[in-house]
Chains A and B, each alone.
Chain A
């Protein structure tokens, strides 16, 4: 089955081509089912591959195609199948499949349905390439591909201006990150002579390269990861990306594309481990992003925005895990987060769909009576996000903060705990504002309805995952299945395996649970019992509140400093081009025209003048001859 791994990206690619070429005129509504079937088939193959890796095939490279061979620079299209990549393949295909099924219902009335599934299929293809690649360059192909599809899908409803701007912003920020990635891989090639993962990791061990080079590589790659995974400073595209359809937000901006940065760093663990201080940078940036985004999520009114900032925050947790030396925990959280965050998004989509397009939570309320299945599944997902045991989120998040503590990063641990409190608070707030209380908009409430079955079933499946996944692969902490499975793939060989005592584990777990409970309790107090009242807090906090609502004015800052500078530069370049370069060309033309007009005056048509010209030439010749003969002109 592993040899058939090329089928996994092939199915979505075929769906992309079929839907793209024939979807508009002939296939119409079938495009969705074709795409879903394709991803479903990929999921089945992925399961097979996963089982084979489980069965003992630790590391296989499947060569597919000889791509670039220029002297020393050899890059092939090949797949590296090991526990890490097979896990990612599984997560990506399964979650994608559920979201595709859901989209058949959500996007059913949209005229651009065929376009939607075309881009989504292309996206899945690119993501799978990214995950399967055995070298940095092929991964970059997938990297760029998902960025492109993100742009296409965010700007899906391009008839309105906001999606277009959001798509452009996402793409440009991604590109800025890609610059870092490119520098990283070029340096990798210069230092190690290859872009192949296995080659590079082997050479890191054998010949310890210069620290400065390694640090440059790692920081450059991480910069690329911040762009893709929406960490500081390249995060602000993700909330704006909510302009895209909700399934897009669920798939791309929760479960898959944004996790590619995490995957990149996890895959490059040998490099980061050897580079010393880079891991600290990763961890710190992750932690700061986590708490930063969580604070913004506290005060947002658009339900999708809350989820977007939540995603940024949770991604921060994953980078925090990587930074403190627990890559397995990071991947674990990536997997669980994929499920419950996708569920949260799809559930929000269900709510939005049921309300006919409303996204502002201030207009919602008491929807649990009208949309029961959506309510229950979102409740489960919210609990998972808040890291309540025994739901999935608890196990993965607990491992992260636990690793932070046991590896000595106390400050990061504290930030993680505080963020957990905030997370619990805002998710409770969001759920309460949506599903509880009194309906704030009677008209909307009356027309609200539950979503069709094609949308409900994926919600249920994801909910099941959110409940079961954590225990299934993460228990007991630090020694669960996932550690035994992924450990050899990502841990640095030779690093000390630091298994803490049972007592420590229990205490840490208790603290995590307490954090979640505190957050929920405070939220209930504020919103249900109005003690203290939410609006009162807002008024009391005054300017702090405004800062939060305006997202710390980061967008304005970027716009003022960076975008304006870029515009000025562009304007200057344009002026230079128009006036100096074009001016030069125009002036030369004008000069030639002028000389032409002047030379024309020689053509008088009077033969006598021409004879005179001959005589003048004769004079010239004689002058030259005389000059040479007399030595006036030198040799």
Chain B
């Protein structure tokens, strides 16, 4: 019995997962649910990476996206409240127009996307050795720059959210 049917099936499942979860993020009202669905999207995405043979990338995907970014988003959700507003009215005013544009863009592009074909691939191995080699030799400079970028982002985020204690003390004075 050949197991050739496994890959397409898994792909189909993962694809449906990605698309459905993604659409739900856009359409679901409750933010927490949306955040968790986003995490599900990321997981399915990681699965797709594995299917493609890029295990390292998949690992990173889970670590960074599902791990860090989802947590960050949840933090953001926690710290911002809707206040008295009801959960309704959650589409922007420009929604119809936006829908038209996006639809006009999406359909042709998606159709066109289907037409891509690739030569039959070389038998896989993982991607880790070549990836590691590239990053640390050819692309070592961007790698270092990326570190600096992260540092800058970290500092920036801290600076932005630093409480101005003096002002708040003044504001709270009777």
Contact = CB atoms under 8 A, between A and B. Distances in A.
Nearest to B97: A612
Interface in B76-125: 92-94, 97-98, 101-102, 104-105, 108-109
18 contacts: A606-B92, A606-B93, A608-B92, A608-B94, A608-B98, A609-B94, A612-B97, A615-B98, A615-B101, A615-B102, A615-B105, A616-B101, A618-B105, A619-B101, A619-B104, A619-B105, A622-B108, A626-B108
A612 B97 CA distance: 9
Nearest to A608: B92
4 nearest CB pairs, A to B? A608-B92, A615-B101, A619-B105, A612-B98
A619 B100 CA distance: 11
A622 B101 contact: no
Interface residues of A, number: 10
A2 B51 CA distance: 115
Nearest to B109: A622
Interface of B: 92-94, 97-98, 101-102, 104-105, 108-109
B94 A622 contact: no
Contacts of A606: 92-94
A520 B29 CA distance: 125
Interface in A618-632: 618-619, 622, 626
A619 B101 CA distance: 7
A618 B94 CA distance: 17
Nearest to A618: B105
B105 to A, nearest CB: 5
Interface of A is mostly: helix
Contacts of A609: 94
Interface in A596-620: 606, 608-609, 612, 615-616, 618-619
Contacts of A608: 92, 94, 98
Contacts of A616: 101
Contacts of A612: 94, 97-98, 101
Contacts of A626: 108
A609 B95 CA distance: 10
Given A606-B93, A615-B101, A615-B102, 19 more contacts: A606-B92, A606-B94, A608-B94, A608-B98, A609-B94, A612-B94, A612-B97, A612-B101, A615-B98, A615-B105, A616-B101, A618-B105, A619-B101, A619-B104, A619-B105, A622-B105, A622-B108, A622-B109, A626-B108
Contacts of B94: 606, 608-609, 612
Contacts of B104: 619
A622 B111 CA distance: 14
A612 B92 CA distance: 11
A609 B98 CA distance: 9
Nearest to A626: B108
Nearest to B92: A608
A618 B109 CA distance: 12
Nearest to B101: A615
Contacts of A619: 101, 104-105
Contacts of B98: 608, 612, 615
Contacts of A618: 105
Nearest to A622: B105
B53 to A, nearest CB: 31
A626 B107 CA distance: 13
A217 B44 CA distance: 101
A27 to B, nearest CB: 79
A615 B104 CA distance: 11
Nearest to B98: A612
Contacts of B108: 622, 626
B165 to A, nearest CB: 30
A386 to B, nearest CB: 103
A622 B101 CA distance: 12
Nearest to B105: A619
A344 B168 CA distance: 105
A606 B105 CA distance: 22
A431 B140 CA distance: 120
A69 to B, nearest CB: 70
Nearest to B104: A619
A619 B94 CA distance: 17
